[in-house]
Amino acid sequence: MGVRFTGWGIGLPERIVTNDELSLTLETSDEWIAERTGIRERRIGGTTRSLGAEAARAAIADAGLTPADIDFILLATTTPDRMAPATAAMIQSDIGATCAALDINAACSGFMYGVRVAQGLIETGTRRVLLIGSEQLSGWVDWTDRRTAVLFGDGAGACVMEFSSVTNDLISSTLGCDGGAAEILSCHHNATFTMDGQEVFRRAVRAVVESSEDAMAKAGITADDIALMIPHQANVRIIQAMADRLSIPMERAVITLDRYGNTSASSIPLAFDIARKEGRIKPGEYALVTGFGAGMTWASSIIRWS
Ligand code: UT7
């Protein structure tokens, strides 16, 4: 008895912005961005609402359901379109659902926080949860600041999580937060993102390694059992450092930041989509899904596909 992931979908703007295009207006280069981050291009456009609705429709169809079958909508976002109402409410209306709808914000860890919240809802009687990660970070980036502008992109990913009486895909989870680190990555009202990149980097590696170890210990498995690692897509050097410390070969990591950049709460569901399309998600195998973000927050889960 437990939780099953039954459908996935994505929503991406059409417009691709390459590193070369950014270097026309910023003192930067494709070489610097690719070498220091792994990012080569990102998608820009749409709104948190429009991208989220697109991903939501695709996930519901992929699960073989209709919007009327959804009992709860959770939207993980750092960039809601408005202060009120919640962007989840507007997506609910756009897709033609009638259930409860709520935004959650744990920055880039938001989707994995959402997985845990959805699990709690399902364990207490909610049958089907639509979990969306959607971000329009381009609206909150200082396009004159090369230290942050080159990192972020827009996009959305969604999944349907359902109660199952025969199986459980979500084996363990670890969530954490250190609100004392709020100032190292922050965005005030009517402002843009500011970041102490090196400090975020240092803390991120520590947080994802420790929480991954904790999630594996709770699941009773070791790094050797991990067939697939789905990390938050911020910097390929963070993913490499994490893989090294956990002794998980880099070939097992899913990388999407080269084409989408850092899409915050959307990065993990977008990576799930790529992993699925590449045929890398296999029944019975363990995946480590792990992220970190502003807060600072972090979250790791062990998933075994049924
Ligand atoms: O979802 C969570 C979000 N954030 C993160 O995960 C960010 C974590 N941090 C990082 O990914 C890296 O720290 C960055 C990619 C942000 C920066 O890379 P770095 O290797 O830590 O570079 P740095 O900050 O030490 O800067 C090195 C140099 C500096 O020049 P000087 O002072 O040595 O002359 C920067 O001004 O690189 C310069 N620089 C750039 N140069 C060209 C910074 N950004 C750029 C740029 N293009 N875009």
Closest C-alpha residue for ligand 1 atom 28:
147
H or E stretch covering 140:
none
DSSP letter string, 22-66: HTTTSS--HHHHHHHH---EEE--S-HHHHHHHHHHHHHHHTT--
Atom of ligand 1 lying closest to residue 237 CA: 11
* Residue to mutate, 144, 147, 148, 194, ligand 1, most ligand atoms under 8 Å from C-beta: 147
Whether ligand 1 lies within 6 angstroms of the CB of 262 is answered as: yes
The pLDDT profile of the chain, 306 residues, written as one tens digit per residue, is: 899 999 999 999 999 999 999 999 999 999 999 999 999 999 999 999 999 999 999 999 999 999 999 999 999 999 999 999 999 999 999 999 999 999 999 999 999 999 999 999 999 999 999 999 999 999 999 999 999 999 999 999 999 999 999 999 999 999 999 999 999 999 999 999 999 999 999 999 999 999 999 999 999 999 999 999 999 999 999 999 999 999 999 999 999 999 999 999 999 999 998 899 899 989 999 999 999 999 999 999 999 988
- Give the three-class secondary structure for 274: helix
Whether ligand 1 lies within 6 angstroms of the CB of 36 is answered as: yes
Whether ligand 1 lies within 6 angstroms of the CB of 150 is answered as: yes
CA distances from 21 to 89, 153, 155, 233, 292 (A): 35, 14, 19, 21, 28
Domains of the chain by start residue, with CATH:
2-164 (3.40.47.10), 170-304 (3.40.47.10)
Q: Annotated catalytic, 232?
A: yes
Whether ligand 1 lies within 6 angstroms of the CB of 78 is answered as: no
pTM value is 0.97
- Tokens representing 83? 């202060």
